[in-house]
Homo-oligomer: A and B are copies of this chain.
Amino acid sequence: MTNQYVHGYSHRESERLADQARTLTELLHHDTRYPPGSRVLEAGCGVGAQTAILAKNCPGALITSVDISAKSLKKAEENIRSQGYTNVTFRQADIFSLPFAQASFDHIFVCFVLEHLPDPRRALENLLPFLKEGGTITVIEGDHGSAYFHPDNADARRAIDCLAELQRRGGGNALIGRQLYPLVSAAGFRDVRVSPRMVYADSSRPELVEGFTNLTFTAMVEGVGREATGHGLITEEAWNRGIAALYRTAEQDGVFCYTFFKAVGRR
């Protein structure tokens, strides 16, 4: 899940966003702490949003972050270097043909990657041999079908369904979060434990309402409007009503719920 919607923020808005990012980081990552000296593979680091969190939370770990895109990797490396972290090595690589010896890593970390892959199980099966016996894999994904809200609204639900349908047509799966347990288990990992991480936003939590409901989730849905109407998945009128209804959930008496899923398995 990426935030594709960037305003010119005031200072106060920037602070709120930073609060939101901290809250979400804590929710998803507080219990991922790899010990000093452990070798960690981050598979699919993208532009390094999670890499920075790993590097910070696990200062003594030796992190190797790979991505298939040289362009993303360059950005990730600049991001990490600019923050002064020295515990990350970057390498351009495809998850399906990794340039490492088998059993090279104590831990593997895969965050917001599987949702984009046509065959996420095969990706996990390909990662398994690179883990040492007893090592862990951590997988984190969202689930767009976990979104519900007050006031409820049929057009808003349809707009979210359009996003999921577009992701499906692109070979991905927007409902993958709830599937992590069977997916990671079927790929051959054992002792799989999944814990849901629910984001709950009402007006007593303004940093989440602004940072998550508006600027992360609704902005993400809004970002595919042209594509959704262009493919005839929904009329422009229904789309606009749906987006307005999503923003409506961020008002004083609104509520928004969304759940991420975190799975940990063992080789």
Taking the closest CB of chain B, its distance from the CB of A258, in whole angstroms, is 11
Copy number of this protein in the oligomer?
2
> A181: which of B185, B193, B196, B202 is its contact (CB, 8 Å)?
B202
Contact yes or no, B192 A204, CB < 8 A: yes
Residue among A186, A204, A257 with the highest chain B CB neighbour number at 10 A = A257
In the complex, whether A248 has a CB less than 8 A from a CB of chain B is no
What sequence of 0s and 1s flags, for each residue 123-153 of chain A, a beta carbon within 8 Å of any chain B beta carbon? 0000000000000000000010110111010
Task: Please give, as numbers and ranges, the residues of chain B lying within 8 Å of A194 by CB-CB distance.
Answer: 200, 202, 204, 255
Q: Does A266 contact B (CB under 8 A)?
A: no
Q: For chain A residues 145-171, which have a beta carbon within 8 Å of chain B?
A: 145-146, 148-150, 152
Q: How far is the CA of A44 from the CA of B3 in the complex (A)?
A: 45
Whether A203 sits at the interface, judged by CB under 8 Å, is yes
CA distance in complex: A60, B179 (Å): 45
Q: With an 8 A cutoff between CB atoms, is A175 at the interface?
A: yes
A182 adjacent to chain B (CB < 8 Å):
yes
Interface residues contributed by chain A, number (CB under 8 Å): 30
Give every chain B residue within 8 A of A149 (Cβ-Cβ). 178
Is there contact, CB below 8 Å, between A204 and B175? no
Q: Is the CB of A196 within 8 A of B254?
A: no
A259 in the interface, Cβ–Cβ < 8 Å?
yes
List which A189-241 residues lie within 8 A (CB) of chain B: 192-196, 198, 200, 202-204
Q: Check A178 against B259 for contact (C-beta < 8 Å).
A: no
A contact set with B: CB distance below 8 Å: 143, 145-146, 148-150, 152, 175, 178-179, 181-182, 185-186, 192-196, 198, 200, 202-204, 252-255, 257, 259
